């Protein structure tokens, strides 16, 4: 019953290496066919025979993985773990898809992973930053506690990035600077991660290309975002105030004249007052009917002045920043295609 249960599980799972390229070794191909036919004993025999001859690293890893699967199916857990350990050493980045592989096989795989020392999933993210103001993200996983040294090497130049005891996922930030603080020279660099514990050691590497570029300068502003200049003149609403004032002043002069006139001298012709009073009234009416001239809007003028001062101050800051930026270098770091895993 127990065997039948595992067989059902394995039937619904993909065969090891499914979707990968067809192996060159004939025995390995036959072993894969036997595994597909649920003939695990024959699959183990053929896989072991295939490992007895010279094969590529990928085929070797595939053969050991097939062995791990087959031993798992036959309940030979120790042998399965040993086979998976060999697989991991040959291909440290190898992963099993938990959604397609049975939990039992997956657990054995991770059990094997914890028993070997490898550096997995070394990733150097592409980055672009101003020299001295940014870092290159580096991350990897160490499967067992170990002294981990991370270096960057280009030709004879070696830069120590980090040295620490670590296990699990490690995240590093490399400022791409030499020990004296200068930026690393442009060119191809190799990020090497070396892990060592007792007699075991492992290293993984990732090639990156570092290029220099000029830092973009900031454009000068012609306006402040979100702020607009206001009109500096405004047209007052049309009123009868001019005519009213002219009438008031003329009336004052008329009343004063009539009040001060001496009775003994008789009443005058008021010719002079008529002329000037009429001129004042006409001027008042004309000013009333005339379209008001735009007058300075003091509040808006003050606002615009402050806006211009702010804009000038901001442009001055931009100019200073551009002076600094022209002296800076922009580093572009790009990861290159990964070479073979590790050893």
Partner 1 sequence: MTRPAWGLAIGAACALGTQPGSAQRVTIGPQFVLASYREVSSGLQYQGAGFGGAAVARWRRFSAEAVVTRVTFNPSGSTATLKSFDATQIDAWLAYDIAPYASLEAGLTHRSPSPEFGAQSVGAVRVGARASSEIGPGATVSFRADYLAAPQFSGGGHASLSLDLGLGLDVRLAGRLHAIAAYAFQHIDRKDNPGGTAPDTPAPIQQSLARLGLGVGF
Q: Are strands 329-335 and 200-214 parallel, antiparallel or unpaired?
A: antiparallel
Which residue in 190, 196, 185, 142 sits closest to 166, CA to CA? 142
CB of 254 to partner 1, least distance (A): 9
Q: Is 325 helix (H, G, I), strand (E, B) or coil?
A: helix
CB of 308 to partner 1, least distance (A): 22
269 binds partner 1 (CB under 8 A): yes
| Interface of this chain with partner 1, residues 209 to 268, rule: CB under 8 A | 241-243, 245-246, 249-250, 252-253, 256-257, 260-262, 264-266, 268
Which residues are bridge partners to 334 per DSSP?
209
297 binds partner 1 (CB under 8 A): no
Closest to partner 1 by CB, 54 vs 271, is 271
Which residue in 18, 143, 141, 142 sits closest to 69, CA to CA? 18
- Return the residue matching tokens 């067992």: 144
38 binds partner 1 (CB under 8 A): no
Which residue in 234, 215, 192 sits closest to 328, CA to CA? 215
Residues 6+ apart with CB under 8 A from 153: 159, 189, 190, 192
CB of 243 to partner 1, least distance (A): 8
Q: b/e per residue, 232-271, with b = 16+ CB within 10 A?
A: beeeeeeeeebbeebbeebeeeeeeeeeeeeeeeeeeeee
- # chain residues binding partner 1, by CB under 8 A: 35
The correct pick among 272, 298, 309, 317 for binding partner 1 (CB under 8 A) is: 272
Closest to partner 1 by CB, 39 vs 232, is 232
Closest to partner 1 by CB, 67 vs 243, is 243
CB of 276 to partner 1, least distance (A): 4
Q: Which stretch of DSSP H or E encloses residue 209?
A: strand 200-214
CB of 244 to partner 1, least distance (A): 9
Site pattern 176..195 for partner 1 (x: CB under 8 A): --------------------
Choices 18-26, 43-51, 104-112, 283-291; region in contact with partner 1 by CB under 8 A: 283-291
336 binds partner 1 (CB under 8 A): no
Residues 6+ apart with CB under 8 A from 100: 13, 14
Interface positions with partner 1 (CB under 8 A): 241-243, 245-246, 249-250, 252-253, 256-257, 260-262, 264-266, 268-273, 275-277, 279-280, 283-284, 286-287, 290, 293, 295
């Amino acid at each position: 019953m127990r065997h039948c249960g595992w067989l059902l599980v394995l039937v619904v799972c993909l065969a090891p290496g499914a979707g990968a390229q067809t192996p060159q070794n004939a025995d390995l191909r036959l072993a894969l066919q036997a595994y597909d036919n649920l003939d695990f004993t024959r699959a183990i025999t053929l896989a072991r025979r295939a490992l007895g001859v010279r094969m590529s690293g990928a085929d070797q890893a595939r053969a050991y993985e097939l062995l791990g699967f087959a031993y798992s199916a036959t309940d030979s857990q120790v042998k399965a773990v040993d086979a998976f350990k060999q697989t991991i050493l040959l291909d440290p980045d190898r992963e099993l898809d938990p959604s397609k592989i049975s939990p039992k096989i997956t657990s054995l795989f991770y059990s094997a992973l914890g028993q070997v020392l490898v550096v997995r999933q070394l990733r150097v993210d592409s980055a672009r930053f101003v020299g001295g103001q940014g870092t290159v993200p580096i991350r990897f996983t160490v499967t067992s506690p170990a002294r981990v040294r991370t270096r960057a090497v280009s030709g004879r130049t070696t830069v120590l990035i980090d040295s620490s005891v670590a296990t699990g996922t490690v995240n590093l930030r490399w400022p791409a600077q030499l020990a004296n603080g200068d930026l690393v020279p442009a060119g191809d660099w190799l990020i090497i991660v070396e892990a060592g514990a007792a007699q075991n050691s492992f290293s993984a590497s990732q090639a990156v290309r570092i290029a220099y570029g000029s830092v973009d300068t900031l454009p000068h502003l012609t306006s402040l975002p979100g702020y607009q200049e206001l009109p500096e003149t405004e047209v007052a609403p049309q009123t009868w105030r001019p005519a009213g004032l002219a009438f008031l002043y003329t009336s004052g002069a008329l009343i004063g004249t009539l009040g001060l006139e001496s009775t003994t001298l008789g009443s005058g012709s008021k010719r002079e007052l008529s002329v000037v009073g009429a001129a004042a009234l006409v001027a008042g009416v004309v000013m009333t009917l005339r379209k008001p001239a735009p007058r300075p809007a003091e509040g808006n003028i003050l606002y615009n002045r402050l806006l211009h001062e702010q804009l000038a101050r901001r442009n001055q800051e931009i100019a200073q920043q551009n002076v600094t930026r022209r002296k800076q270098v922009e580093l572009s770091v790009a990861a290159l295609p990964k070479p073979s895993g590790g050893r």
